[in-house]
């Protein structure tokens, strides 16, 4: 077994813990918490079954919590990077949602939000995982609010837009997966752009750069 971070010695492959985490992330994202067994995680990770308990002594719940607390923030950073890739804020919202639509369709509607599937499932059944998902969602809202304050100095308005962004993204992912149609994501992006433009057009709002 290789070190806990980096790559397995001499192979260039992701280390055992990273492979387990990546496999669990994919399976939890696609199939949910209850439908994902640890034997399948081990098989997908090409790792000995016992290595899961070596790295995650708490078993499936600890592995899921680790997945939530690592992939969630990473996904948030990726979304912010997409938003920063287009100078105009309204256009950047359209761009980010269009990119999500394209990626979802390319993944045959299997890979969407890394924590959304689990979040819905555990909201009323597992307090540890509910708390973890709630924490990630709050991080996303805070980060998005910070992004919106570049153009919307009113903290309340910026936070409202941030909530709308997260809600639009999560809801659109669900609808796009259910209908196997990327259009809900594209509509959500245009709606977010409209919300931002409307906010910027309100009396007293500064002009967008």
Going by the DSSP 8-state scheme, the letter that residue 126 receives in this structure is: -
Spatial neighbors of 111 by CB under 8 A, at least 6 apart, are: 26, 29, 30, 103, 104
Half-sphere exposure (Cβ direction) of 126: Cα atoms closer than 13 Å: 16
Q: What pLDDT does 205 receive?
A: 60
Beta bridge partners of 7: 14
The values of phi and psi at residue 50, to 5°, are -65, -20
Measure the CA–CA gap between 146 and 190, rounded to whole angstroms: 21
Q: What pLDDT does 3 receive?
A: 32
Q: What pLDDT does 202 receive?
A: 80
Going by the DSSP 8-state scheme, the letter that residue 5 receives in this structure is: S
Half-sphere exposure (Cβ direction) of 103: Cα atoms closer than 13 Å: 13
| Burial of 178 from C-beta contacts in 10 A (0-12 / 13-18 / 19+) | exposed
The predicted model scores a pTM of 0.86
Q: Among candidates 155, 170, 160, 82, which has minimal Cα distance to 119?
A: 170
Q: What pLDDT does 11 receive?
A: 43
Half-sphere exposure (Cβ direction) of 186: Cα atoms closer than 13 Å: 9
DSSP string, 45-111: HT--HHHHHHH-TTHHHHHHHHHHHHHHHHHHHHHHHHHHTSSSHHHHHHHHHHHHHHHHHHTTT--
Per-residue tens of pLDDT for the chain, all 209 residues: 233 344 454 444 569 999 999 999 999 999 999 999 999 999 999 999 999 999 999 999 999 999 999 999 999 999 999 999 999 999 999 999 999 999 999 999 998 899 999 999 999 999 999 999 999 999 999 999 999 999 999 999 999 999 999 999 999 999 999 999 999 999 999 999 999 999 999 876 655 44
Measure the CA–CA gap between 122 and 139, rounded to whole angstroms: 19
């Amino acid at each position: 077994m290789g070190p806990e971070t980096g790559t397995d010695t001499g192979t260039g492959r992701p280390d055992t813990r990273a492979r387990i985490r990546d496999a669990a992330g994919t399976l939890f994202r696609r199939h949910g918490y209850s439908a994902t067994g640890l034997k399948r995680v081990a098989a997908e990770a090409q790792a000995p079954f016992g290595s899961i308990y070596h790295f995650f002594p708490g078993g499936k719940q600890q592995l899921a919590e680790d997945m939530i607390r690592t992939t969630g923030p990473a996904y948030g950073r990726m979304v912010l990077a997409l938003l920063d890739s287009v100078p105009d804020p309204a256009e950047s919202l359209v761009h980010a949602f269009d990119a999500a639509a394209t990626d979802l369709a390319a993944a045959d509607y299997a890979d969407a939000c890394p924590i959304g599937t689990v979040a819905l499932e555990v909201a009323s059944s597992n307090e540890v995982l509910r708390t973890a998902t709630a924490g990630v969602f709050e991080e996303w809202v805070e980060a998005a609010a910070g992004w919106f304050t570049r153009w919307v100095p009113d903290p309340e308005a910026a936070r409202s837009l941030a909530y709308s962004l997260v809600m639009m993204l999560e809801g659109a992912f669900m609808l796009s997966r259910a209908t196997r149609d990327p259009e809900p994501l594209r509509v959500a992006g245009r709606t977010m752009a409209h919300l931002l433009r409307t906010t910027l057009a309100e009396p007293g709002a500064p002009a967008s750069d």
